[in-house]
Chain A
Amino acid sequence: MAQDLQGLVHKVQLPAQDGVVRALVLTGFGINCEEEIAAAYRLAGAQATIVHLNQVLHGAVSIHDFDVLTFPGGFSFGDDLGSGVVLANKLRYRQTGPGGRTLLDDIKQFVADGKFVLGICNGFQVLVKLGLLPNLGGDVTPEVTLTHNASGRYEDRWVRLRVHPRTTTPFLKGLDVLEVPVRHGEGRLVVPDAATRGALEAAGLNCLSYIDAAGDGTSEYPHNPNGADLNCAGLTDPTGQVFGLMPHPEAFLSAFNHPDWARRRRQNPAASEEGAGLQIFKNIVEHIAQKHSVLAN
């Protein structure tokens, strides 16, 4: 485990431009999907480092030493004031450096540098509450929100997603339909007005939609597990560099995670043992590696 070897309070010093894709996976304060996300990056060929949020806030680790910053799922601060609220509040207000600098300032710089941010489930909620998603206005102000499922309950169930044909995010390159589990109680996207809905749709920022058995976007439970506006399961910002989604692709790293794996393998014994969720991580690692090699040449 990266965290165990890395130590907590020593600054991570990494050589630059060795072709390795470096993924930073945040943990602490109730985040709980860091291990499988780190595994996903490793399986995708990246170097994954799990770091406690305080290491970053206290300056022991700099996000700028990494290529992709990941906010995993979980229950940060117990979701007590609403999912992701307290963590987002910490990133926005907790001063980490001189002049009232906050981690959010660093993340803005990180994105401006052309790097990538991924938020899954609780991590997606954090990005939305921060205003990093969808960031239509470009000023990192909350424009939409995620709140209690229409069912009023937490649920773990597998759903099918369709990738928006107009999305440009490298995370979803080449993907059309994706099966993944949702595991949340507060995943209903609320878009406050028609103008915002129109803008999201026009730019294809609502990059993932819940679909029914026929493959159509749906508001019907349980195919749409939370009643999200636009049937939306995930968002990107206009650059495509910031991507967040409610479902858990990191829970489908192996074909044997799927509820129907046994029958599928009977029908197709030679099928890959990789889970379909891994492709998102392979996409971004490959994209960054390509960028690195372009820079190196």
Chain B
Amino acid sequence: MTLTDLEPTTHTIQLTLKPGQHDGDGHRVAAAAARHLGLATGRVRTAARYTVRYGALSPEQLRAFATRCLADPVLHDVTLNEAVAPVPGFAAYILVARGPGVTDDEGTSAQNALADFLNEPIDTRTQHIFSKRLYLLEHDLPTADLRRLAEELLGNKMINRFEVGRVADGIRDYTPRPGGGAEAITETISLNGLSDGALVQLSKDNIYALNLEEMCAVRDYYAAADTQAARRAQGLPADPTDCELEIIAQTWSEHCKHKEFSAVINYRDLATGEEKQIDSLFKTYIKDATSEVDRQLRANGNDWLIKVFSDNAGAVRINANSLFVWKVETHNSPSAIDPYGGAITGILGNNRDPLATGIGGARLLFNTNVLCFGNPDYDGPLLTGQLHPRRILEGVRKGIEDGGNKSGVPTVNGAIVFDDRYRGKPLVYCGTGAVMPMQFAGLDSWEKKIDAGDRIVMAGGRVGKDGIHGATFSSIELDESAPATAVQIGSPITQKLAMDFLLIAARRGLLKCSTDNGAGGLSSSVGELAGISGGAVVELEKVPLKYPGLRPWEIFVSESQERFTLVVEPGRMAELLALGQEMEVELTDIGHFTNDGSLDVNFDGQPVARLALEFLHDGVPRKTLEAEYEKPAATEPKIPTQTDYTGTLRLLLGALNICSRESVIRQYDHEVKGRTIVKPLMGATGQAPQDAAVVRFNFESWEGVAVSNGILPRYGDLDAYQMSAGSFDEAVRQIIAVGGKLPNLTPGDNIFWSVNDNFCVPDSVYDPAINPDGKQKLAKLVQMCEALRDATAAYCIPLTSGKDSMKNDFKADGVKISVPPTVLYSMTAKMEDVRRAITSDFKEAGDVIYLLGETYDELGGSEFYALHGELGALVPQVRFAEAKALYTLIGQANDGALIQSCHDLSDGGLAVALAEATFGYGCGASVELPESALPLATHLFSESHSRFVATVAPADVVAFEALLGGRATRLGLVTEDDQLTVRHAGQTVIEAPTTELRHTWSNGPVNQLLGVDELAGFGDSAGH
């Protein structure tokens, strides 16, 4: 018997907690409803519901499946079908189901369990069991309140369907029925004779995100005599097909093509009158800068830079046997409309980049995430379609948790930056480091080689309507009409299986190469790979679907997640397919590569698209953009001087951008794989914040990698160049702080560094009506790139990959919220011996405390000024030569094991760094600030770059001071008592118990929002 052959009957299984069992979810919903929505729900009881749509399941089978497979005999009562009755004492209900086509991993797992239970081959690839959650509320809330609770707390109307009402009226159910409707037809769209306005409207209506010039280029390609002749000869319509226009739109999207980073830019400095033309930001400031770094490295016997900018991730050599692969991406637009789904697909999608670099099959080592949000306590108005910053924060955090934890990849480093300009579009940066052997089955692992005749195999998840137009959608401003199909839902378990499979397949030599299906789906992955062999033929009808009803173009551009495109030699297919079957990864042969210069897409033998690769990849018109810089007016504020700054320090430690992120950090697994040596929080207390992560590569050697990030958007309000330079320096000095060394200081030292740059900026294309300050925004981007070039040259640190995101604006109700121009530098550097890593916390009373580096009058953009509601003017400058000299000296000091702790100075300056360094165990510090011309507040709170607080054991003081000379300023001693005392000019200016300071920092707004609470009530309800 095959269950799915028969007309399905719908059954319902409901699991309710037995009386007396703690309903944690219910408690949390009640508390959150009161806290965030002001709704008094009374007690909340939760239940799990499964709608089963397999035919021919007997009542006995259903009951046995429910009680033996789904229910926990200790926890659950089971009810079936009409026996599903409400629990007495609850007046209202909310049922949360998923919308049609939305990934339902829980339902799929139930299907797997049913297949195991019955020992029958039932269809588990499409959805037959639908999971839902039922919430029963004690109080009889009106429908509007129930809806609010459902939409703002329990789900997201972009992906969920809700039923709400009175229990007495009967609980309405909802089960999705995806698919149906559309047939597999392909239409043509005539561009001929369309006016400029009509072309632009067509692009907008179909979310092509192409501008007039690009639309004209497409029209001209089809109108050209040789195109017309070729299409006639091949039996294709003269007009473009819907599929062809979609392929062009995906391939030419800003997301995929980086048209603005490749544009010609005319730059004018309004103050100096200086004018220049920049021939591509990418080429000028990123690619060429890295080439120059590589030249210097190679001249010095350091030839570890293996692959840059040309694959899914950058690759550098660790040693003779292995490569380190590193990639950081953003997933901003999806996270704005569905924070959980956007973030989880962000991290899973970014994982696929290192996994599918070169041949594919790298082993993932760690994840990172850097997040920018509006203030979670924001109490202003929300625009149509805009989610509250708190919801975005909680959803994104949960997405990162599930994406990383369920994949078994530790999240070792990250940051959260708060600024209300991120409340429209949050920034969600996801990074992944991986290790790949130099060779797979005798072939260089990092190469991507394809020949005509090689098979195209789709591996992993199936295709649905989810994620159609993700690439083009992220290339335009976000507005209230964001399409539901642009949301993608992640399935970590599907990807984990595919990842395990890739590892084995690569090591057995079954893969010629691979790539991931991300933005643009198959159209992008096959389109890009076809560029290597010179063509491809795809048979779209072979692509397995989640449900029927997709048009051919939808199948080709869908961004349904957890899919890889594999390139396989025909002779390897049998073994590959057998391995897929054994590991339960769906593999489908969907076509082959050619060398005839075109991308051919067929459905059931009929052509639906044929495009010349030359036009597809090189036909996009180059943009010319205008940039004009005018230095923003800024003045230094007058802030009254104080004699005691203890209160100021407490305020800073509790400030949103400085306070502890422990509640977030601990919900990420940061030590799975057992290789994390420096974690985000360390010390006996587990609460001392660290500057960078350190991860060893394996259990056989002590080689490892340090991981850091630099991001300082608020400095950009004063000086975009120094903001970018400072961000770069911040990431470098964090690695120096944990014991890393600058590259290329000695010939052949083989200390790799690998950096990803991620620019996230507001729309920077000038338009007099909709973007009048576009020229100034673009000028800032130019300056950020110039700083990047200067920084890479100064430190001899190469970029290896990156991604820019150019339209970070949210527009609705006639209002535009734009992010501040932001750049993140995500850095990795080889650690020769992770046992020599340095942590930030003070180690022993009697150790001598030093300030390394110099403090300047640079409070502009500081957290100290922000505390007073000021921005100031004097932004911190990076002095590259001085910084490099200091970092080199610190490396030498670490060679001599002279440093016991080292913490970089950043937000909040010296005072905050000193306090944080005491958080590792109950020690204190006694510090005397040296006399200088600087005002006291500047001494304490200036955020001048390239500085550290370090401690040295008494026995090493002479050697340390001899080495560091004037670069180290002796500040005082680590003390046994738990007092932080800072004195200046004979006065005590800060005095506080360090346990109290740690308490202030640990109970700041982030942990208050997301911390563990409500535990007090737990004992009462546990029932025994």
Chain A residues in the interface with B (C-beta under 8 A)? 3-4, 7-9, 27-30, 32-33, 35-36, 39, 42-43, 52, 54-55, 58, 73-75, 77-82, 85-86, 89-90, 93-95, 129, 142, 144-145, 147-158, 181, 183, 190, 192-194, 219, 221-222, 227, 229, 248, 250-254, 256-257, 259-263, 266-267, 273
Contact = CB atoms under 8 A, between A and B. Distances in A.
A73 B73 CA distance: 23
A262 B669 contact: no
B671 A156 contact: yes
Interface of B: 21-22, 24-25, 27-28, 68-70, 72-75, 105-106, 108-110, 112-113, 116-117, 119, 131, 401, 405-408, 491-493, 496-497, 500, 503-504, 507-508, 578-579, 582-584, 665-677, 679, 681-684, 686, 696, 699, 834-835, 837-839, 841, 843-844, 900-901, 920-921, 953, 1012, 1015, 1018-1019, 1022, 1024
B838 A262 contact: yes
Contacts of A157: 666, 686
B672 A251 contact: yes
Nearest to A3: B504
Given A74-B408, A227-B1018, A145 B667 contact: no
A39 B55 CA distance: 47
Nearest to B838: A262
Nearest to B840: A262
Smallest CB-CB A-B distances: 10 pairs: A32-B408, A36-B674, A80-B109, A78-B493, A145-B74, A39-B699, A80-B106, A75-B406, A152-B24, A262-B839
A82 to B, nearest CB: 6
Contacts of A153: 667, 1012
14 contacts: A4-B503, A35-B674, A43-B699, A75-B492, A80-B109, A90-B113, A142-B74, A147-B75, A156-B671, A221-B1015, A227-B1015, A260-B921, A262-B841, A267-B844
Main secondary structure on A side of the interface with B = mixed
Contacts of A85: 69-70, 72, 113
Contacts of B696: 256
Contact of A183 (B669, B681, B841, B1015): B669
Contacts of A8: 504, 579, 582-583
B14 to A, nearest CB: 14
A78 B492 contact: yes
Contacts of B900: 266
Given A78-B493, A152-B28, A256-B677, A89 B116 contact: yes
Given A147-B75, A183-B671, A156 B666 contact: yes
Given A52-B582, A80-B105, A257-B671, 5 more contacts: A8-B582, A33-B674, A81-B70, A192-B74, A266-B843
Specify which of A250, A256, A262 lies most central, judged by the most chain B CB atoms within 10 Å of its CB: A262
A257 B672 CA distance: 11
Contacts of A192: 74
A43 B583 CA distance: 29
A34 to B, nearest CB: 9
A193 B69 CA distance: 22
Contacts of B405: 75, 154, 183
Given A145-B74, A153-B1012, A262-B839, A90 B583 contact: no
B683 A263 contact: yes
Nearest to B493: A78
B109 A81 contact: yes
B835 A256 contact: yes
Contacts of B70: 81, 85
B496 A30 contact: yes
A100 B815 CA distance: 66
A136 B744 CA distance: 63
A32 B672 contact: yes
A248 B408 CA distance: 13
Given A30-B406, A94-B119, A266-B844, A77 B582 contact: no
Contact of A80 (B493, B507, B1018, B1019): B493
Contacts of A149: 24
A192 B408 CA distance: 32
Contact of A33 (B116, B119, B408, B582): B408
Nearest to B115: A94
B578 A27 contact: no
Contact of B921 (A54, A256, A263): A263
A212 to B, nearest CB: 15
B671 A154 contact: no
A81 B113 contact: yes
A158 to B, nearest CB: 6
B578 A9 contact: yes
B674 A39 contact: yes
A3 B583 CA distance: 13
Nearest to A27: B500
Contacts of A152: 24-25, 27-28
A144 to B, nearest CB: 6
A151 B672 contact: no
A36 B408 CA distance: 12
A155 B666 contact: yes
Contacts of B584: 29, 54
A266 B842 CA distance: 11
A32 B407 contact: yes
Contacts of B1019: 219
A29 B841 CA distance: 40
Contacts of B675: 36
B785 to A, nearest CB: 38
A250 B683 CA distance: 20
Given A27-B500, A157-B686, A150 B1018 contact: yes
A93 B28 contact: no
A35 B27 CA distance: 38
